[in-house]
Amino acid sequence: MPEPQAVPKLPKAPTGIAGFDEITFGGLPAGRPALICGAAGCGKTLFATTFLVNGATLYGEPGVFMSFEERAEDLAANVASLGYDLDGLIAAGKLAIDHVRVERSEIEETGEYDLEGLFIRLGFAVDSVGAKRVVLDTIETLFSGFTDPSLLRAELRRLFGWIKDRGLTAVITGERGDGQLTRQGLEEYVSDCVVLLDNRVADQITTRRLRVVKYRGSAHGTNEYPFLIDEGGISVLPVTSADLNYGVAEGVISSGVAGLDAMLGPGGFYRGTSVLISGEAGTGKTMLSSSLIDAACARGERCLSFVFEESGAQICRNARSIGLDLARHEASGLLRFEAARPTLFGLEMHLARMHRDIDRFRPDVVVIDPLSALRGPTSELQATLLRMIDLLKGRGITAVFTSLRQEGVVEAADDLGVSSLMDTWIKLLNVEANGERTRTLYVIKARGMSHSHQVREFLMSGDGIRLVDAYMGPAGVLTGTARLVQEAHERAESLRRRQETERRVRDAARRRAAIERQIAELHAGLDAVADEERLLRDEDALRETALADERDELRARRSRAE
């Protein structure tokens, strides 16, 4: 059969497994066998079943499941929990299951034989439903049923050739062996595409991973990708594909706390950025994030909150103490809490789960509370968080992370090494003085906006969160009761000063009155003197007149006497 080398792109058969088709750029090689290998319990059969079921239901490609291990009814029962109705598909003629039972004790070998029976059964099943897809699970079981491995190998080679000739897209599963991918070295025969599933336990936490070991004729993601098996089936998360070329969401969203918005130049956080709220225990991280959630939901935005230390109901109840009714938003479907113990999964699984939940819920705001609950090796942690942030940014989701700072830990270690990834960092600090603790808040950084560098006192009451300007004066920065005392002190001081001034004003007024009185007296004296002066002048004038009269009379008398 001529290889389809003239075709520029290898034809592919999509598996319908979320994420897998992305990392393989389309799915498994169409018309060829692919090997899915891994240790027991890592999801090989489920992967294969999903491939068939999706083929039959989504892509109109009927399939044949040739099971060498489980009986048809067991298979159907196993995947029924995922919502796969194998019996229904069989009835609809879209699926055929053939259970090939190979029992060493029941088989006596004498002379030459071949596996023509298998070929014919497979061919019969394929023809009965017009199959395009085939699963052989796990064909290595044949090696336990027949004694002649060289014959089996030759037959397997023939089988895979036959599958290619028929143009069937086949998934062959194989158990992980020592030093090689499968026990019987199947990878030698199925060389087009090999996918390795892995189920690793580190620190008692299991993480499922998938790696495309080989994909002839096609590019593929080479990393190990975490994958998830839950009630939604398999999802593979190509999270490392995230890059930095995401668009920038415009707009500003309120933090739900007026005082905090006022500290930030544009009046809130930029939409689609990441916000870190770090602080010690009991500094109000969750309350601050709850305020933000309430504000977002009140705007009609969707919020998804991943909580690792409390249940959603508990957060709702606690938020009521500051007058926030989160339960209302939860009831209206705008808010969803996803609570899980951090130890329930490994880091990758948490990320995987979040990825899936985010894609399903399509939130505008995501809260992770607290980020510090996720534990793991530092390098892995940082890589995981980086991908998480990229994941959120890539979708234009505003992300709020809270982080618990250990008391007494050096400053640099309190941000999990992610502060550089955060656009805004709000630090809540307990100030301990004069026998009391006071909550304070700083905006450490806010990318792309001016912001206040000053400390604010953080008050929580039934009316919500209020930020109060801390006292700043000659006595330093004071908060809490000390601030109140200082303010009272200042008030008393200013009152005293005012009274003093008033007294001096009164004094001055009195002195002025006295002087004015003196002036009035002097004026009176002056007037008296002037009167006297005038009187004297008048007397003088009268006297002069009298004298003149006398002289005139005398002169007259003399003249008469002469």
In the complex, minimum distance from the CB of residue 151 to other proteins, in angstroms, rounded to a whole number = 9
Shortest distance in whole angstroms from residue 96 CB to other proteins: 10
List contacts with other proteins (CB under 8 A). Answer: 98, 100-102, 106-118, 120-121, 123-125, 142, 145-146
In angstroms, give the least distance from the CB of 68 to other proteins: 9
Shortest Å, Cβ 129 to other proteins: 13
Nearer to other proteins, 102 or 242 (CB): 102
d(CA 7, CA 158): 25
The CB-of-34 to other proteins minimum distance in angstroms stands at 23
- The nearer residue to other proteins, 156 or 335, going by C-beta atoms, is 156
Q: Is 356 exposed, middle or buried (0-12, 13-18, 19+ CB in 10 A)?
A: middle
Q: How far is the CB of 337 from other proteins (least distance, A)?
A: 51
In angstroms, rounded to a whole number, what is the distance separating the alpha carbons of residues 323 and 367?
Answer: 19
* Structural contact between residues 292 and 329, judged by C-beta atoms closer than 8 angstroms: no
3-class DSSP assignment, residue 60: coil
Alpha helices (runs of H) in 189-273, residue ranges in sequence order: 258-263
Distance CA 498, CA 207 (A): 73
Closer of 103 and 407 to other proteins (Cβ) = 103
> Given the complex with other proteins, which of 79 and 96 has the nearer CB atom?
96
Cβ closer to other proteins: 110 or 204?
A: 110
Which residues are CB-neighbours of 345 under 8 A, at least 6 positions away? 205, 206, 207, 352, 353
List the beta bridge partners of residue 42.
none
Backbone CA torsion sign across 178, 183, 189, 195: negative
Give the DSSP letter of residue 371: G
Question: Cβ closer to other proteins: 72 or 327?
Answer: 72
d(C-alpha 52, C-alpha 62), whole Å: 7
Tokens linked to 250:
């415009």
Residue reference for tokens 């891994």 = 38
CB nearer to other proteins: pick between 100 and 371: 100
How near is the Cβ of 31 to other proteins at its closest, in Å? 23
Nearest residue (CB) to other proteins, 116 versus 230: 116
Task: Compute the least distance from the CB of residue 143 to other proteins, in Å.
Answer: 12
Q: Which CB sits closer to other proteins, 102 or 460?
A: 102
The closest alpha carbon to 367, from 289, 271, 257, belongs to 289
Closest approach, Cβ 123 to other proteins, in A, equals: 7
CB 398 within 8 A of CB 365: yes
What angle (nearest 5°) sits at the alpha carbon of residue 220, between those of residues 58 and 378? 110
Which residue carries 């601030």 as its tokens? 483
